[in-house]
Each structure stands twice: as C-alpha cells, then as structure tokens.
C-alpha cells in the first residue's frame, strides 16, 4: 500500500516536496490532495502536480479520510495552529522546520500528537541525507576518535524576502538558517544538551536577527560554534574535528551532496527532479519522506533519527540564543 500524502499549503516549499515525492516509487508514495487558503491556488497546484483533490481550506484536508500523513509547508507562525488542526483530526504530520516559534509551542504540538496517538516529525530534511547517515555511522564507530569541536556556517542574502525580515512572519536568520547549524551540532553530539551557550547578534529595525554567532560548550570540554546570516553569503560548510581526524561537509551543508573524511571526498548526488525546483537540492526531501513511510509501516509515533526530544532541544536552544540576542516574538509573550 502506498503512503497517501496530503499537502498543506501550495507555496514554493510544498512544490519542491511534491516534486521530491515523485522521485520515489509510485507504489510507495502517492499525493492524494492539496489544500491552500484560496481554492484557486490549490487547483493550480493540483493541476501542475497531477493531484486529484484540491481544497480551499486546511479544515477540508483534515477531514479527508483517505490521507495517511499531512506535509505542512505553511510559514513559521502558523505551524502551531496548523499542526494542532491535523493532530486533533488524528492525522500523522510532517511539519516544516522550525516545528514552532518557541519551545512552549513545540511542547503543545508534541502533547497533542501524543494525546491523539499520531506520528509527528519536524522536517529537518538534512538528517536523512546519505551524507548525514554516513556521518552518524563514522561517529558511532569512533572513526574521528573523540570529537572536540564542531563548526557550522549558513549565510545567504535574504533581505529582499519579506518572510525573512518581518517579525510577524517569523523572520530572522536563526529560525530560518541557524536551525540547520544547530541541528548539525546536536546530531554530532547525539542530542546532548549544551552546558552553556553564548550568543551575539545583529538585529534589524524590524526586531529580528540578521546575523548570529553562537558558541556552545558541552560536557567533557567539547565545543561548537556556528554563524548564521540572512545578509551575507557565508562558506556554508560544516566541520567535525576529533582527536583522530576530521569530517568536512562542503558548501550547502544543509542539503549536502558530498563528504570529505580526512581529505578524501565522496559524492552523494540527490535524485533528478521532473519539474524545476525553487530551492537547492530539494529532491533530497525524498529521504525524509521515505523515513516517514518506514516509521508509519512500523507503527512508530516519532522518528528515531529526528525524535520529539530533538525538536524540543532545538527549540530550547533557539529560545536561549534569541534571549541573548534580544529577539522577542509576540508568541513569546502569550
């Protein structure tokens, strides 16, 4: 039986996710319906992607009995309400990152998923790339000896995009870009909570962060540092340094297609798309989609690779970094 997907929102990321699903076997993954806030947007999306059902509201999608799992691609501030809509409708959910604006909202979403006994995963797609799978294998086998330092950078000029700079749209470099650096650090240190975080940043007049630099200290004097920016192009790589060697994820560490282990590079190309994409290497979203299918087949309610505790830790670290940098969303005051 194919896993039957519903797509919530007809925006750019939902387009890319639907294209990514098409790279997987049709007998395994099938898009049954799409929902947008305007029916004509859903209909246009459905036509482009050859989807049989188009809904002009998210509520209609939540009521569709033929959906196994919903992919949520709405903007950040709407993640909480949209996740709750579907979890309360007893639908399994894959929600774009960040799972919510802050840790309090993440806890609400996780509690709802648990209460309704449904699968829920934050779509941290990077974790499921073959490069990430190989990194975890190398670390588990202690190929680098003891890891002492992790460094990650992600910066791209996004100042022209309202979603990136406006507070009411959940703007800011940390939630959009820094989350990739944080999840990378967290993956390497196996979901351990840092002992200490020190962060500095530059904020825009809109009250959101433009550039953030953060240092994290973990147990046994292990360190991590990351930089994220929505203003400038950074090297966008990730490095893991241990007592016996080094792993480097070259440019585009958030959707990696190559890995350098002690100077030796290996390529891991993503599948080819059948339609043009909005974002780099988006067909790599097929890896997280397949993870969702495997979890559902096993009756799991969360993924062991990107579990609920991982999502909560990410949100807590983001909250602390924003607190130090001075970014406060309206959701923080509720």
57 with 137, same domain?
A: no
| Residue where a domain terminates, one of 126, 158, 176 | 126
| Residue where a domain terminates, one of 76, 91, 126 | 126
What pLDDT, on a 0 to 100 scale, did the predictor assign at position 211?
98
What pLDDT, on a 0 to 100 scale, did the predictor assign at position 325?
98
Radius of gyration from C-alpha coordinates of the chain: 19
CATH number at residue 181: 3.30.360.10
Cα-based angle 32, 35, 37 (whole degrees, multiple of 5)? 175
Task: Answer whether residue 86 is part of any domain.
Answer: yes
17 with 54, same domain?
A: yes
Task: Answer whether residue 276 is part of any domain.
Answer: no
What pLDDT, on a 0 to 100 scale, did the predictor assign at position 334?
84
| Residue where a domain terminates, one of 98, 126, 154 | 126
198 with 324, same domain?
A: yes
249-254 contacts: CB < 8 A, separation 24 or more? 249/131, 249/135, 249/184, 252/280, 252/281, 253/126, 253/152, 253/153, 253/154, 253/180, 253/181, 253/184, 254/126, 254/154, 254/177, 254/180
Task: Answer whether residue 180 is part of any domain.
Answer: yes
82 with 24, same domain?
A: yes
Q: Which are the contacts of 193, defined by CB distance < 8 A and separation ≥ 6?
A: 313, 316
Range of the domain at 328: 130-269+307-333
Task: Answer whether residue 292 is part of any domain.
Answer: no
Q: What share of the chain is helix, strand, coil (3-state, %, to 5)?
A: 40, 25, 35
37 with 76, same domain?
A: yes
What pLDDT, on a 0 to 100 scale, did the predictor assign at position 160?
96
Task: Answer whether residue 36 is part of any domain.
Answer: yes
122 with 134, same domain?
A: no
121 with 146, same domain?
A: no
Residue numbers of the chain with a pLDDT score lower than 50: none
Task: Answer whether residue 285 is part of any domain.
Answer: no
Structural domains of the chain, count: 2
Residue 311 — φ and ψ, nearest 5°? -65, -40
**In this structure, are strands 92-96 and 120-123 parallel, antiparallel, or unpaired?**
parallel
136 with 35, same domain?
A: no
């Amino acid at each position: 039986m194919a896993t039957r997907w519903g797509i919530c929102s007809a925006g750019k990321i939902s387009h890319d996710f639907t294209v990514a699903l098409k790279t997987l076997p049709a007998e395994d993954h099938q898009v049954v319906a799409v929902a947008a806030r305007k029916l004509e947007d859903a209909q246009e999306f459905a036509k482009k992607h050859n989807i049989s059902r188009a809904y002009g509201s998210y509520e209609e999608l939540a009521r569709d009995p033929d959906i196994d799992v919903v992919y949520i691609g709405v903007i950040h501030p709407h993640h909480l309400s949209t996740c709750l809509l579907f979890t309360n409708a007893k639908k399994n959910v894959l929600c774009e990152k960040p799972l919510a604006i802050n840790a309090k909202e993440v806890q609400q979403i996780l509690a709802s998923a648990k209460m309704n006994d449904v699968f829920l995963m934050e779509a941290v797609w990077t974790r499921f790339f073959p490069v990430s799978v190989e990194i975890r294998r190398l670390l588990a086998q202690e190929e680098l000896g003891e890891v002492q330092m992790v460094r990650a950078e992600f910066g791209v000029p996004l100042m022209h995009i309202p979603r990136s700079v406006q507070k009411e749209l959940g703007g800011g470099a940390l939630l959009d870009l820094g989350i990739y650096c944080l999840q990378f650090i967290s993956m390497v240190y196996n979901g351990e909570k840092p002992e200490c975080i020190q962060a500095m940043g530059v904020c825009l007049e809109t009250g959101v962060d433009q550039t953030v630099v953060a240092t994290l200290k973990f147990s046994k004097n292990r360190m991590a540092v990351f930089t994220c920016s929505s203003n400038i192009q950074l090297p966008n790589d990730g490095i893991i340094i241990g007592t016996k060697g080094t792993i480097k994820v070259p440019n585009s560490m958030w959707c990696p297609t190559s890995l350098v282990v002690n100077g030796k590079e290996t390529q891991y190309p993503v599948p080819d798309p059948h339609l043009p994409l909005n974002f780099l290497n988006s067909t790599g979203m097929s890896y997280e989609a397949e993870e969702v299918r495997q979890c559902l087949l096993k009756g799991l309610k969360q993924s062991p690779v990107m579990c609920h505790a991982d999502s909560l830790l990410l949100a807590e670290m983001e909250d602390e970094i924003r607190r130090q940098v001075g970014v406060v969303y309206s959701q923080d005051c509720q």
